Amino acid sequence: MSKPPDFNRQTILMQSERGFKSEIIAAIPLTAKEKLFHIRICDPCERENFTFLPGQFIMIELPGCGEIPISISSSTSNKEFLALCIRNVGKVTGMLHRLKAGAIVGIRGPFGTHFPMEKMTGYNVLLMAGGLGIAPLRAPIYWANNHRSDYKDIIILYGAKEPEQILFGYQFEEWRTIYNLNILTIVQKADKRWPGRKGIITDLFGDIHIEPDNTFAIVCGPPVMFKFVCAHLSTLGLPRQRMFVSLERRMHCGMGKCCRCNVGSTFTCLDGPVFDYWTVMNLKEAI
Amino acid sequence: MKYLGITLERPKIGVFGFTGCEGCQLQIANKEETLKNLFNSIEVVNFREISSDGCDDYDVAFVEGSITTESEVTRLQKIRNQAKILVAIGACACLGGVNNLKSRFPLSDVVKEVYGMHPVDTGPVRRLQDVVSVDIDLPGCPISKSEFEWLVRNLVLGIKPQFPQYPVCVECKQQLNSCVFDMGMMCLGPVTRGGCNAICPRNRFGCWGCRGHSEEANFESLMRILRERGFEDEHISERINFFNAFNGIL
Amino acid sequence: MLFKTITKENFRNMIEGIMENNEVIGPKSRDRDTKGAKIYRFLKLNSFDELEMDYTRSYSSPKNYFLPFKEDLATYDLRDTGWEQEIRYTIHPRIIVGMRACDINALLKLDQVMLKSQYPNPYYSARRRNTVIIGLDHEPLEDCFCRSMNTDTAFHGFDLFMTDIGEKYFVAINSDTGYMILNRFDSCEVGEEDQLLYKEVRGRIESKFKTQVDITIVPELMDLEFESDVWKRWGDKCLSCGSCAMVCPTCYCYGIEEDIDLNFDKATKRRFLYSCNLLDFATVAGGHNFRPEAHIRLKYRYYHQFRGFVEAFNQSLCVGCNRCGKACLAGISPKAVIDDLIGTEKR
């Protein structure tokens, strides 16, 4: 399933210092603050050789402006382009939002650990996302869809602040009907036009049945969500080593050198961003 | 000019001076080797030091000096109304600066001492932000040309500039300077905003805090250190009040 | 390992010979402190006489010759919608004379991160491979605790390592380059007397360590005492000025900044050494700071040095040179903090 890591020196240098020149082929507005970028590596050989696993991230660079870590939101089997869901919050993301199709950016990577999709074979998979947390979950969802027969029930719980902030809602119906995923959404604030549920993501636990002996969980969202969600799953009896979370930290290198993403005794870019919950408990101030 | 396909506008700029020595304005007109490139990226429409022509159609106003008279208030308000972005340049505009010395004495004494038989209508020293809203503070006494150019590049790109939050010590250590404290001098480097490449300590001259205080500076600890090293409160007070950068810590 | 001896006169010839065609870095003094003692730093030497062979300790470590405080990683030619990137990491060879055992051990620790990890750092590698290191032994200072950190002797990581045995230097040779350099100038084989003298000097050095820091249980203490008010107490003193990390021979935290020129057709990607003690070290886009308080940042500096690095590489990152303790105006030294943590500090 997953390829062994390539330790060819040239590849390492490519990944680590030299950026792949990549073209923005589409910049699709999703909400007021988020855009989905489709980015294609210019060189066909590099594009063909670029592989990643669900949950990994890349560093995207605008020369002269800056470089930021972004998780990959596209399918690992999509060889045409990488999809990156980017919120306009800072200097680099602000500039990215101004770029049009045709602009060339640099990408390095992929970096970091991934969700162990192969280990989940034969299990139910519970994916939980809060807000922008759906972005890194899109890769494992695509993976699960592509290997649908490998998994039993797949449930997605998605919580957002307002209905307008729900990301990728346009895909939910397709995922439900074609891939038989059970998707539940909940929002914190909504007016009467919202037909769905109101509340926080843990409220959705009442609507689903979880078999603790037979389930893997993937959680992505703000740190406060990890605490409540993982605590709840623990009380249900789900082993901590079968819960996976993706952490966010400041990053400058992606290679375990700059120490900016240091959490507890380790680095988010090397040993993360995907950690199992047992490791997270062991890392000081991880969440 | 284009950046990754985005067309960049040349901002129209005006440079204005209030109460101050005009040193910061001079810095902008300084450094011939980059002046041509600078004027390629901005359009100067109002700058007394380089041209007697001037119009009031500018987007960015760079304003030097502190505010001391009522007529200055009116003039500044007019600039504020015109400019989309108002940048305070230099210690006088950002902090009050050396001019603030005046505020330590009764105003009538000051007027008498300075103007003698020809008194003028002058008030207490105010920072620009005490009078109008300021978008960006470009600190320093004087401002550094390279930092000004950096700011211009950010403005052209439409990026909000982020000044160093850390204190002078970082860059001082990077210059491999000997710590001036070890040589018996007083230095405000540990609580002053970096970005100046520690130019004073590099020349064996303790920092006076012209760039204002660093973010969340630990004043208590510095005061303890200064007193432990035998500096008198009077001496400390003179130093920290010099640029008016550390109000109320002693 | 091979050993030789060289007379002090010949050593002078050797350094002057090297200096003719190469950049030589060594301990130099430019200022004096209030007590009149010289303040040393590693700088380029213009003549042998500038080299202070009896220097005590350089204010800052020579790490900046391997990890520069500021370094251009790449340059870009921008045009219309795209750009071309250029990366260069070729450097001129140079020689550093007078590095202490602790500084050489510090490089070995940096090698673990920069050379022997998943992503080798080509910039560091270029500097490391093109620098000849001539080490120099010394009698420990009052506050050196390298002995406790097991870094008081160096067995590799250098080209030549010299010990002053009176008339001559006793030289350990650890590379072909070092061997060739030494052979080009008059060096002698080690005689029985030299060996005795060397043993005597080593014994004297070892007997002179005054400061000890017991780090046996420190990795565990870092977790056990994570919420301890020890951190708050030291954190209240901390100026968050980053001086400790700048002078430290092993602190390697950095940041990346990008800059563009006034014509908007050239850009530079630059690395600058940073410190985990600085306020915005862990601030992410949007403004959330994962470590907003000084004492938490201070704690993490120690946590990385004495716990995180131990977990990754089975050794502390600290080499016991106490430069951070000397540079800290607030008087925060590893010895004091760790003693406080263990509970042996006299309060």
Chain C contact for A281 (CB, 8 A cutoff): no
Residue B195's pLDDT band, with cuts at 50, 70 and 90, is very high
- Confidence band for B128, pLDDT divided at 50, 70 and 90: very high
Q: Is the peptide bond before C249 cis (omega within 30 degrees of 0)?
A: no
Beta strands (DSSP E) in B48-99 are 60-64, 85-89
Which residues of B are less than 8 Å from C70 in CB distance? 174
Q: What CATH number was assigned to the domain covering residues B2-157?
A: 3.40.50.700
**Pairs from C111-119 (Cβ < 8 Å, separation ≥ 24):** C111/C157, C112/C312, C112/C313, C113/A256, C113/A257, C113/C252, C114/A257, C114/C67, C114/C252, C117/A255, C117/A256, C118/A12, C118/A255, C118/A256, C118/A270, C119/A12, C119/A15, C119/A16, C119/A255, C119/A256, C119/A257
Whether chain A has a CB inside 8 Å of the CB on B3: the answer is: yes
pLDDT category of residue C331 using cuts at 50, 70 and 90:
very high
Q: Is C80 left (phi over 0), alpha (psi -120 to 50) or beta?
A: left
Residue C114 in contact with residue C121, Cβ under 8 Å?
Answer: yes
**Chain B / chain C CB contacts < 8 angstroms:** 131
B225-248: pLDDT as tens digits: 999 999 999 999 999 999 998 876
Q: Which residue of C has its CA nearest to B180?
A: C33
Residues A74-123 have pLDDT tens digits of: 999 999 999 999 999 999 999 999 999 999 999 998 999 999 999 999 99
Task: Give kind and range of the element (H or E) at residue A48.
Answer: helix A44-49
Give me the domain span that covers residue C137.
2-62+88-207
Distance CA B153, CA B10 (A): 10
Which residues have a Cβ under 8 Å from the Cβ of A68 and sit 6 or more positions away?
A: A59, A60, A90, A92, A93, A251, C285
For residue A60 the two structure tokens come to 């995207």
pLDDT of residue C286: 83
**Between chains, do B6 and A91 touch, taking CB under 8 Å as contact?**
no
User: What is the model's pLDDT at position C88?
Assistant: 83
Domain limits, chain B: 2-157, 169-241
Average pLDDT for A47-61: 93
Contact A265 C312 (CB under 8 A): yes
Mean pLDDT of B165-177: 95
ipTM of the complex: 0.90
For C133-152, what is each residue's pLDDT tens digit?
999 999 999 999 999 999 99
**CB < 8 Å to A100, chain B:** 5-6
My answer on whether omega of the bond before C140 falls inside 30° of 0, hence cis, is: no
Q: How high is the pLDDT of residue A5?
A: 47
| Predicted pLDDT at C347 | 45
Indicate whether A3 pLDDT > 80.
no
Query: Is residue C228 in a domain?
Result: yes
- Helices C229-237 & C294-303 angle (0-180, nearest 10): 110
In angstroms, the CA B24 to CA B62 distance is 10
Q: What pLDDT score was predicted for residue A14?
A: 52
Among A37, A60, A88, A91, most B C-beta atoms within 10 A, so best to mutate, is A91
Check CB contact under 8 Å for A91 and B159: yes
Q: Establish if A95 touches chain B: CB-CB under 8 angstroms.
A: yes
Could you tell me which chains touch chain C, where touching means 3 or more CB pairs under 8 A?
A: A, B
* Mean pLDDT for all residues in chain A: 89
Residues 157-176 on B with a CB inside 8 Å of A are 157-160, 162
Q: How far is C268 from chain B (nearest CA, A)?
A: 13
The predicted model gives C252-281 an average pLDDT of 93
Query: Please, are residues C293 and C235 in contact by the beta-carbon 8 Å criterion?
Result: yes
pLDDT of residue A222: 87
Is residue B53 over pLDDT 90? no
Identify which of C32, C83, C243 has the shortest CB distance to residue B169.
C243
Co-location of C241 and C154 in the same domain: no
Our count of domains for chain C comes to 2
Residue B6 CA to residue B157 CA, distance in Å, equals 9
Q: What is the mean pLDDT of residues C259-280?
A: 93
- CATH number listed for the domain at residues A9-111: 2.40.30.10
Domain match, C10 and C142 both: yes
Chain A residues with CB-CB distance to B157 below 8 A? 64-65, 95
- Scanning the structure block, which residue is given the tokens 């029930």? A153
Residues C33 and C157 in one domain: yes
Chain B residues 212-241 with a CB less than 8 Å from chain C: 214-218, 220-222, 224-225
For residues C44 and C149, state if they share a domain.
yes
In a mutational test of the A interface, the residue from B1, B3, B4, B162 whose CB has the highest number of chain A CBs within 10 Å is B4
Structural domain boundaries in chain A: 9-111, 117-282
Confidence at residue A81, expressed as pLDDT on a 0 to 100 scale: 95
Q: Are C182 and C281 contained in the same domain?
A: no
Task: Please say if the pLDDT value at position A256 is more than 90.
Answer: no
Stretch 191-220 of chain A: residues touching chain B, C-beta under 8 Å: none
For C189-194, what is the mean pLDDT?
Answer: 92
Position A12 scores a pLDDT of: 56
Per-residue pLDDT tens digits for A180-213: 899 999 999 988 888 888 999 989 888 888 899 9
- Chain B neighbors (3+ CB pairs < 8 Å): A, C
Closest in B5, B8, B214 to C264, CB measured: B8
Instruction: Tell me which residues of chain C have a C-beta less than 8 Å from any C-beta of chain B.
Output: 30-34, 39, 41-43, 59-60, 64, 69-70, 78, 80-83, 236-243, 246-247, 259-264, 273, 275, 278-280, 294, 327, 329-330
pLDDT at A82: 96
Can you name the residues that pair with C170 across neighbouring β-strands? C5, C163
For residue C49, is pLDDT > 80?
yes
Residue A8 has pLDDT above 70, yes or no: no
Distance between CA atoms of C79 and C93, rounded to whole angstroms? 35
Percent of chain A with pLDDT over 70: 94
The span from the CA of A171 to the CA of A185, in Å, is: 13
User: Residues of B numbered 30-89 whose beta carbons fall under 8 angstroms of chain C's beta carbons: which are they?
Assistant: 34, 37-38, 40-41
Distance CA C95, CA C24 (A): 5
Class of domain A117-282: alpha beta
CB A183 within 8 A of CB A158: yes
Indicate the pairing of strand A215-220 with strand A243-246: parallel
Say which of B173, B174, B216 has its CB closest to residue C279: B216
The answer to whether the CB atoms of C276 and A68 lie below 8 A apart is: no
Residue A2 reports pLDDT greater than 50: no
